[in-house]
Amino acid sequence: MARVTLAQGRIGPVGLWIMAVVASSPLTVQVGGIPTMYAATGVAGVPLAFVLVAGVLYVIGIGYVGAAGHMSHAAPLYALMGRGLSPVVGIAAGVCALVGYLAIGTSLYGLLGMTIVGLFGFGQWWAWALGALAVVAVLGLVGGLGNVGFLGLLLAIELAVIVFYVVTALAERQGPLTFASFSPSALLVPGMAGTVAFAMAAFVGVETVPAYAEEARGGAPSVRRAMLAAIGFVGVFYAVGAWAMSVHAGLGGVGQIGSDAGGGPLQTLSRVFGPAMGALATMLLVTSVVAAMSSFHQAGTRYLFAMAREGVLPGFLASTSRSGETPVAASLTQTSLAGLVIAGFALTGADPLGVMFTWLSTLGAVVLLALLVVASAAAHRFFASGQGGNDSVLMRRIAPATGFVLGLLLMVMMLANLGSLLGLPPGSSRWLLLPALAVAVLLGGLAWGGVLRVVNPAVLAGVGRVVADPVSSPVRRLSRMVM
């Protein structure tokens, strides 16, 4: 018989950390994101931008995971908005999160398909994308520590490649070893807002940790430590990678990064260690993207499952495997939706990189980061309404208020530079399509919440309040005990 709870105690703090960092896709950021930041802005202070954004997200994270820890909900943004602001807003936030994870997850299929075509020189991008979708679908159904272990192995390899590149870039630097790119004067120049916008997009994925709270071993403390550790690690790691790239090019050459065909990380490794090393690094880029897609798939699946369990979405999505380790129906639905998106872009002949990857990834980043900022306000209201426990003043008041203000400033910078994020020419107004689409999704979510308020008000009363029963929920570590 189908269960309505997920197996508890199956993912430890390290596994939670892995899922967050994998979603951020470090190798993709190092190979594509950071060179694009330098090329688009010409700002030497890219490393400092990563540190700045990491600091703001860390403050936001304190309040967010602090409040989410009192819920242990598989759809944390939905639950926090529902209990901190209003049930209708919570439903709208859940719909936005679903669209955000679907958008950023499916955007990677265009990147992966074109990367494999470039690597092997044959096939259609969509055919490779569908093959990757099958892999992600299997990973989504596996569940348990096997999935985390596989993604952890891929993450370890890609981090090793980045470290290898950093050492190589520093050894082959064009000038003296300098830390000038970390000075405020390197970032406080025209183009700073665009640099911060790109840096914010690179962090998408670290907010997924609370979605595994129901399955976490160690409860709320493990979730809190894992998410904050992921933010800190990603910020430092990206800053070091960007710094090594700027040192390699020389401070006077950062504007050429991205346009220099031989200066990228993969090209540098190929030039120094031979084409075989470059091909291996490219293959690892492919596995990095697959790992990120799997992580976003898992997060989106849990939102579908949790919202269906509370009656906001069709009930069949709340069914799980016999062991309770996998939300089967939600996972298959997530796979089907991704397949439809891939098919839509393939049939229309849209550019898988310039349109599919760029627009969908930007849409997902804007929606998810905006939700994270609003979550600070929801966390403040959550604690102010008497919910929570014996939490510190930092967690209840200071972090949510400060995080909201600072996050709002960063979001303004991001929205003001959507044209650059989308690669549009100066003066183009096509970037307005993206916020219009995001607003349409928000209004759709609010409308659905309004409908439920009228036709089934009992559903709204349970928004964010249905969690795993510690007595009846399957616990992986106890499943083999003989009584």
Query: Does 436 map to a domain?
Result: yes
Overall average pLDDT of the 423-427 stretch: 87
92, part of any domain: yes
Separation between Cα atoms, residue 410 and residue 197, nearest integer Å: 7
Average pLDDT on 218-245 reads 93
Task: Check pLDDT > 80 for residue 336.
Answer: yes
- Flag whether 474 is in a domain: no
* CA 339/CA 317 separation, integer angstroms: 18
As a whole number, mean pLDDT of residues 51-80 equals: 94
Q: Which band of pLDDT confidence, cut at 50, 70 and 90, is reported for residue 91?
A: very high
**Is the backbone of residue 456 left (phi > 0), alpha (psi -120 to 50) or beta?**
beta
Residue 479 has a pLDDT of: 45
pLDDT at 11 over 60: yes
Res 373 pLDDT > 90: yes
Q: Looking at mean pLDDT, say which of 260-269, 335-344, 388-397 comes out highest.
A: 335-344
Q: Is 169 within a domain?
A: yes
Whether residue 253 lies inside any domain: the answer is yes
* HEC letters along the chain: CCCCCCCECCECHHHHHHHHHHHHCHHHHHHHHHHHHHHHHCCCCHHHHHHHHHHHHHHHHHHHHHHHCCCCCCCHHHHHHHHHCCHHHHHHHHHHHHHHHHHHHHHHHHHHHHHHHHHHCCCCHHHHHHHHHHHHHHHHHHCHHHHHHHHHHHHHHHHHHHHHHHHHHHHCCCCCCCCHHHCHHHHCCCCHHHHHHHHHHHCCCHHHHHHHHHHECCHHHHHHHHHHHHHHHHHHHHHHHHHHHHHHHCHHHHHHCCCCCCCCHHHHHHHHHCHHHHHHHHHHHHHHHHHHHHHHHHHHHHHHHHHHHCCCCCHHHHCCCCCCCCCHHHHHHHHHHHHHHHHHHHHHCCCHHHHHHHHHHHHHHHHHHHHHHHHHHHHHHHHHCCCCCCCCHHHHHHHHHHHHHHHHHHHHHHHHCHHHHCCCCCCCCHHHHHHHHHHHHHHHHHHHHHHHHHHCHHHHHCCCCCCCCCCCCCEHHHCCCCC
- pLDDT recorded at residue 307: 95
Q: Is the pLDDT of residue 259 over 70?
A: no
Read off the pLDDT of residues 101-110 as tens digits, 9 standing for 90 and up.
Answer: 999 999 999 9
- Asked if residue 283 is part of any domain, the answer here is yes
Looking at every residue in the chain, the average pLDDT score rounds to 88
* CATH classification at residue 84: 1.20.1740.10
pLDDT value of position 108:
94
pLDDT of residue 173: 82
Summarize the confidence of residues 291-306 as an average pLDDT: 93
479 part of a folded domain = no
pLDDT at 481: 40
User: Residue 144 pLDDT more than 60?
Assistant: no
Residues 57-76: b if buried by 16+ CB within 10 A, e if exposed: bbbbbbbbbbbbbbbbbbbb
Mean pLDDT of 93-112: 95
Q: How many domains does the chain have?
A: 1
- Write down the pLDDT at residue 151: 85
pTM of structure = 0.91
Band (pLDDT 50/70/90 cuts) for residue 269 is: confident
Query: CA 57, CA 53: separation in Å to the nearest integer?
Result: 6
CA distance 132 to 309: 29
Confidence of residue 423 (pLDDT cuts 50, 70, 90): confident
Average pLDDT of the segment spanning 313-328: 81
Residue 483 above 50 pLDDT? no
Q: Check pLDDT > 70 for residue 263.
A: no
Query: What pLDDT shows up at residue 39?
Result: 85
- Residue 194's domain comprises 13-465
Cβ atoms of 164 and 269 within 8 Å: the answer is yes
Confidence of residue 235 (pLDDT cuts 50, 70, 90): very high
Residue 133 sits at the vertex; the CA angle it makes with 127 and 139, to the nearest 5 degrees, is 150
Contact 327/319 with Cβ under 8 angstroms?
Answer: yes
Domain assignment of residue 480, yes or no: no
Helices 358-384 + 433-455 axis angle, to 10: 50
